[in-house]
Structure 1
């Protein structure tokens, strides 16, 4: 339940205006509303919880730096509005952050994709985003979530929670077995950091954070920019792949990984990426998808074990189910990683 009315956020950005607020579904962390003013202009109002983002000022500074130097080749990105005192955010009495963003007309969001053309368009948009961030000075960007995408840290927290947890249920025990099979994989990217390409990354380029044209045929934008931070390019590619290559979607109880969607995404990415990817990056794209799937599975499972405090859950077992999908995806990739890495490398080399 919100302790502060969303109208407090509205009044900071649109003082003395009457608006209609409609909650938007989706998103595991932020609260989002479609805000329509009397003149028919539509905007996005969002609340960022300080319990999740302890320094929201850093997120907004990153967003401002990201959109300030867009070029015609940059993907469509949401832009923050300024409030009555010229800032792009408002902190309420609870310390939560409110912001207002442009609403990108003529777009729709999806939680899963079905065909290679959609996958290719996702790859193209992410490559265009990476070209944009490659032109920016990483020193201008903050890290709003220290430790984010440091998979060994998530594994360590899971281990600590598990040691203190009561006996596990029959539904929980299989996930422990998955994690044990994958344990060494948690260190795979960290062990190769010196070889991998650093970049200002999106941090969370799952399917739901792309916007598509109204028919849902092609991606046109990348949104939810709260996790933009200096990182490595494979964090983004791995996260995009583990999401877009599961045709059943992330909230399904069925985990699968489509080679057809994998190759479609990489085809689109390679055609727009130019020389962004180094040789080591190209050899480990499927490994990256495996590691990020493991990482997210660890996060969902740990949150389930601690009472669903981080990711919003509509029912008690939802984060357990989410963890199951991610960990089964990671196990499947682990068992096929050599063959899939070779296929991925061939696709990237053939479309450079």
Structure 2
């Protein structure tokens, strides 16, 4: 277990929280930051919070990230002003202020920390159980994008430059293969060949954006299924999580990443990629939910590339996992040897499955 959990009692004192510290435990399955569910006791009542220890290698300067999150959540709260305060708190993340008046504990010894109010009676899924869950997640992400379509606050910072620049991701993969610092490339001949054959795919959305055919929007950019909270009782999509990468981007990045995370029927790090067969019923639900959530805002050319975006974002993520495996697993946290290799192979298998079922899946997209 990371030593960060030992810092939580000290960090707790730095936030404005009613009550006394009781306990903390690791929470969620994120690859980047360390997340803990923290329990406080106030007048005999347990209250829960989410504490996150930010990954300093990924976010060396977390202040622009936190400003983005503040701007976005403030805008969302204004857009949802018609709801009761209790309902609004279930649909928008609530940052806990620090005793210094900010929203980030920036400590040279303990690291960078933030805290959110925990949303009760809600859950996330790493692997979805029903197409209805896919619909609700897509609806939530589409609505999130729609609510931000009239954002007029301070410009959002590009917190992770070139995050979905697939051409640069491909180039980074090539560089890692050529450098091969740990001698791992010799075990990846099939994956390297697959990547080289799919290089043209990496250029597709980049070129469309450069031509002006696809507009830039404010997007989430990390629309994994487990970044949406669903109501534990009704199954309704409630709240979009993990706002670190909310910045200007393409709607197709968001949709494609949903396809990548939701249409895969097995765990992301499944050691047997032959089990990866993209689910058509889930893809159909994602299309319906996302189009409903974005409320007619997508251009015909964006809808025409919905399926391709799933192939592209799966390919991109596979490149990233394999690049990290070749480079010594320095970005995505691993819990066993070759976990990033298995993650990359699963993503490439999903690309192949989406390609094989292309004609069937295209039937689920309304004609422009």
> How high is the TM-score relative to the length of structure 2?
0.88
Match of 2:67 among 49, 61, 80: 61
> How high is the TM-score relative to the length of structure 1?
0.92
Deviation at 1:296, TM superposition (A): 0.5
Partner of 2:207: 191
Q: Which runs of 4 or more aligned residues in structure 1 lie more than 3 Å from their structure 2 counterparts after TM superposition?
A: 1-4, 14-17, 166-171, 215-218, 334-337
Asked if 1:300 corresponds to 2:321, the answer is yes
Change in CA separation of 1:129 and 1:257 when aligned onto 2, cut-off 3 Å: same
* CA distance, structure 2, for counterparts of residue 140 and residue 170 of structure 1: 45
User: Unmatched 5+ residue regions in structure 2?
Assistant: none
- Provide the alpha-carbon RMSD of the alignment: 2.2
Deviates more, 1:294-303 or 1:172-181: 172-181
Match of 1:181 among 166, 189, 197: 197
> 2:177–2:185: 8 Å Cα contact kept in structure 1?
no
Change in CA separation of 1:192 and 1:14 when aligned onto 2, cut-off 3 Å: same
Change in CA separation of 1:169 and 1:163 when aligned onto 2, cut-off 3 Å: closer
> 1:243–1:249: 8 Å Cα contact kept in structure 2?
no
Deviates more, 1:208-217 or 1:141-150: 208-217
Partner of 2:365: 345
Where do 1:31-46 residues align within 5 Å?
31-39=34-42, 40-46=46-52
Partner of 2:128: 113
Where do 1:1-352 residues align within 5 Å?
1-2=2-3, 5-14=7-16, 17-39=20-42, 40-69=46-75, 70=77, 71-72=79-80, 76-93=91-108, 96-137=111-152, 140-165=155-180, 168=184, 171-193=187-209, 194-215=212-233, 217-253=235-271, 254-337=275-358, 339=359, 342-346=362-366
Change in CA separation of 1:185 and 1:76 when aligned onto 2, cut-off 3 Å: same
